[in-house]
Structures are given as C-alpha cells and as structure tokens.
Amino acid sequence: MRMKLNKSSQLVLVSAASLLAATLVTACSQFTQTLTVDFVYVASSKAAGANNYGEINIFEINSESGAMRQIPASPVPSGGRQPVAEAVSADNSSLFVVNQDDNTIVQFIIGNDGKLYPNNTVNTPGVYPLAVAANKSDLFVVDTYQPLPNCSTASPCSGSIAVFPLLAGGSASGAPCATSVCIGTAATNSSVSGQYWPLAVPGKSGDVIVPTGVNVLPSGNFVYVTAYDSSSKPTHTGYVFAFAVGSGGVLTPVNGSPFAAGTQPSAVASDSTGAYLYVTDYAAGNVQGFDISSGALTPMPGSPFAAGNQPAAIVVDQSFSFAYVANAGDSNVTAYSMSKGALTNVGTYATGIQPVALGIDPSTAHFLFIANFLGNNISGFELSQTAGTLLISQGSPFPCNALPTAVAAIPHNGTGAGIQQ
C-alpha cells in the first residue's frame, strides 16, 4: 500500500532533510577546515632536560579570537644551550634557531602541522651568536666576538657578521640535501682570510664594538647590523653597519658605513619596500628613522621618534603602515602609524614583564605577539588594520617556558581563516 502524504507532512520532511544536510556540511567542514591562522615559535632560554637545552614552544593562533595555544608536540628542545634568536626561511619550510652558548645554528624542518624536526646544525664562525636573519638566498648571523685567539669574555673584542648561502635542495641526485632549503658553506671574506666580516669603526681600532641586531632588506641587496662602541665614555656611541650583499653572500661595506645611530642601538627593522630603516635606542628611549638610498642611510625628518624606557625590539608591519616597539623597562608596547617613513604614536599598551621580542602574524597581519622575558609568557593582541591600535587577545597572556627570548612565525598553509586542509 502506498501512503499519501499531505502538504504539511511534506514540509516537515523537507525541513528534516535540510537540517540533516546542513549538519553533514558542518561536520565535513570541521574535518576540512581549521581556525589556525599561524604557527608561532617562541625560544625560551632557561635550560631544561638532560642536555640543559633551551626550549621552543609551538603555538597556534586562532583566527577569530587571537587566542594562542600550544600544540600537543610543544615544547621541543632547541638543540643547544641559550637560544637567543630565530629566523624562518623564505618558503616557510625551515626554522633557524641560534644557540648562543654552543655557537650553533640549528635548522628545524617545519611540518604541515607546525611540528619541528631537527635536521642540521652548523657552527657560527665567531663566538656567542646573538642575532639572525634570513631571506631566499642567504642566512645572516651576527656574533658577539670575532674568531680571534686573543678574544674572550675576559678580554672582549668587537663583533662580526657571517653569511651562509641558502641552497635549493630536493630529491634530484645533484641536490646538496634532501630538504627544500640547505645551509651552504659560509662565505669567505678575502680581506681577513676568514668566513666573517669584522665590525670596525675607522680610527677606533682598539675600541670594542658590541653588535645587537641584524636586518636584511626585502630585496636581499643590503644587510644592516646595529652596534655600539662600549669603549666610548661617558656614554656609548651607536652605529649601523651597512653591507651590500653580493654573489654567494660576499659582503661589501656601503660607502659611509658605519652610520651614526644614537647611543645604544638595540634592534633594527625595515619596511616592506626597503625604503626605510628603524633602529631602537635602548639608552635614549627612542626610535631612529633612516631613509635608504642605494644602501646608504640618511636620518629622516622628525627622527628620532619617542619610545618608552629601554626599547628592546621593533617590528614593522609588512602589509600595513604600522610599527610596534617593545619597551622592556616599562613592560609595554608602543604602536605607531607610518607616513612617508615618519612615525606617529597611536597608543601604548601594557604587556607582561620585560618584553624583549615581538612579531606580527604573517598570514593576515591581524595579530601581534610579544615575548615577555621575566613574565615567562606571551602577550597577544589583535591589531586594527586601519588605525594600528591594539586590543588584547582572548586569554592573553599565554604561558610558555621560562625566560623567552625570541619569536618567529609562519602562516598555516599560507592563507587565513577557514584554511582548506
């Protein structure tokens, strides 16, 4: 017998079928989409484990709330003692971690799920590396001391910069390694017959030049090292050393280098066009701004720009015209808008105790994360892409291992929210 349904019954069945279809779509979406917008890698310097290695905490950022949570595989050993700096390869496949007490750079392969897999370790040419930067072609590392036999913590000497070419790897028989990025042999400076370039100020051969940071322009044509003359009394004298980057990573000093840069530079960053360079001055509490022309630096009108006490780190938004400075002495971050390079303060926001490193999510440029050295945590903010102002992220601050020193991040599959797996 065939049952005949009335119109109301038909409507009920249609509604039920629609609800079932919607439920199935939602269930499928839960398996094919994720709200993770980025993976963030936070180096913590306090020793842990049998080898007294530092730790790398791995966070994922929620694209809706900005909340950061550690993935199940976090943390992982840094592969050495006292990790102090990080950089990511241009293809987001490798994380380079500088371990200061071991004079090493550890290359981790980054999995699709954000996990880290130690792959290669190289020694830096100098002693006590402190800063690193990477682009498509080269890996730049700055050492506290040159590799000289008479140089030590008891008898310090000036610092240096070295360059490791980054080579394309793969499965081809001629590839230098199986991974997509391979660390090549450090470039040689023929003038010293070594794999480093000394940081020297003409006329001050006996002074100790202390490096603090490194930045390579987006073009890869020029690299900058911030430093100060610790022998200068009663106050230090700050400099920016500028180098042109040649074939194989060979460096050539830019005419006029080093350039005067306040009292005690602490960090350096450039904008996405490579037209402007910014240097924080830890002692003076400001930001030095420079116009870049063929690698040479000229102080921009209005510079220096006021910051807080002991500015320790700076990041420039590569998608929007904003910059952010972590003020270690005030435990806050200052936000700036940028117009023709000039900085205008748009707000100051509380962080954890002693912020020393910060970054902007590379996927959407919508979230800011800050490592608080004495707070043992990460402050998270949502940034306005129209004003540059900050709103604290849900659940911030986020705990991490003790004494975080550096941050780096990659986009999750290269896009924003609702990423297809």
* Residue 181 covered by a domain: yes
User: What is the band of 174 on the pLDDT scale with cuts at 50, 70, 90?
Assistant: confident
Over residues 344-351, mean pLDDT: 98
Compute the C-alpha angle 236/250/213, nearest 5°.
30
Q: DSSP of 377-395, one letter per residue?
A: EEEEEEE-TTT--EEEPTT
Helix (H) or strand (E) holding 281, with range, is strand 276-281
- Total-model pTM: 0.90
Distance CA 348, CA 324 (A): 9
Distance CA 163, CA 14 (A): 67
Domain total in the chain = 1
* Residue 393 covered by a domain: yes
Over residues 369-374, mean pLDDT: 98
Question: Quick check: 172 pLDDT over 90?
Answer: no
* Residue 8 covered by a domain: no
Do 99 and 142 touch, CB atoms closer than 8 A?
Answer: no
Which structural domain, as residue segments, surrounds residue 158? 36-420
* Residue 410 covered by a domain: yes
User: What is the band of 205 on the pLDDT scale with cuts at 50, 70, 90?
Assistant: confident
Percent of the chain with pLDDT over 90: 82
Over residues 269-282, mean pLDDT: 97
Question: Which pLDDT does position 417 carry in this prediction?
Answer: 35
Question: Quick check: 27 pLDDT over 50?
Answer: no
Reduce the DSSP state of residue 116 to 3 states and report it.
strand
Do 230 and 210 touch, CB atoms closer than 8 A?
Answer: yes
* Residue 4 covered by a domain: no
Question: Quick check: 347 pLDDT over 80?
Answer: yes
State pLDDT tens for residues 291-305.
Answer: 999 999 999 999 999
* Residue 10 covered by a domain: no
* Residue 47 covered by a domain: yes
* Residue 192 covered by a domain: yes
Q: What's the CATH number where 95 sits? A: 2.130.10.10
Question: Which pLDDT does position 410 carry in this prediction?
Answer: 96
